[in-house]
Amino acid sequence: MDRVSAFADYALALEKNDPLLALAVNFLDPSRRTRMLALLALNQQLRQIALTVAEPYVRASKLNWWHEELTRWQAQAPLHPITSVLTGVRLDREAINAWIAALHALSAESSVTDLETLTNALQPIARVERQLFGYAPNERFERALAVLNSLHDVRGALAAGRLLLPLDTLLKASLTRADLTDPLKIKRLEPQIAELARQLRVDLKCAPVDRLSALHLSFVRLRARQLARSPAAVFADGAPPLPLRSSFVCWRQALRWP
């Protein structure tokens, strides 16, 4: 199988697992669609390794391999199907090193004490995502994106024995870590998650520079709105149904930028 065909499998799985993403990319022309899916797949691939691979040695080996692959990618000699279809995207060595170091640090922690600690741990990863999609530097946006990503990854991290919800959030809801397997008990967390998602919607304000980042921003904001309305989606098997006007939001964003 050639690398382009192999990437198509990654893209299909990505869209299948994230209906909101599938909706957003429908409004991009084919060349931009491939780039956007590849960037998201790359970002998700590394986050999943750090958060869902349970065996420490395997997790570290995978992250180290990706460190080498990102260096090969920037030297225009990639081996992986995802990086093979990504051209014209530049990350300097410092950004790559910081990205992998943050993923190693995140994978070493099974839980965090408070939201500030969690945000600080995830912000270097969100900073790379911001750079990949061409946003202007904006720390408030990076921190909001970091928290939103953590909420999106909660379920997979729990399955691997990690907790992406701050421990003080659990204490406020009178919950223990073991309670997160009980659908009735986790309902106590819904008001706090909904409030957090509402704040994220306020913070996710950054002027996109082209149609690629405009579409990325539109579905990032829609994801925050989904969580504000249906906080139980953090623990659910699938995302809640999208409102029909979400299509209009993505279409409008696609037309706004040349």
Lowest mean pLDDT among 36-45, 70-79, 223-232: 223-232
Q: Is the pTM of this model over 0.75?
A: yes
Q: CA-to-CA distance for 106 and 4, rounded, in angstroms?
A: 31
Which of 3-12, 60-69, 218-227 has the highest average model confidence (pLDDT)? 60-69
Q: What angle (nearest 5°) sits at the alpha carbon of residue 239, between those of residues 109 and 34?
A: 85
Rounded average pLDDT over 46-62: 89
Confidence bin at 255 (pLDDT 50/70/90): low
CA distance 21 to 102: 25
**Structural domains in the chain, sorted by start:** 3-256 (1.10.600.10)
**Residue 256 in tokens:** 């706004």
Among 37-41, 80-84, 88-92, 221-225, name the most confident range: 80-84
pLDDT of 20 reads 65
Alpha-helical runs (H) found in 75-181? 81-84, 93-108, 115-132, 139-159, 167-172
Listed ranges 35-39, 60-64, 159-163; the one with the highest mean pLDDT: 60-64
> Residue for token digits 């986790």?
186
| Helix locations, the chain, DSSP H | 3-17, 19-25, 30-52, 56-74, 81-84, 93-108, 115-132, 139-159, 167-172, 190-203, 211-229, 245-256
Q: Are the beta carbons of 115 and 58 closer than 8 angstroms?
A: no
Quickly state the pLDDT bin for 58 (edges 50, 70, 90): very high
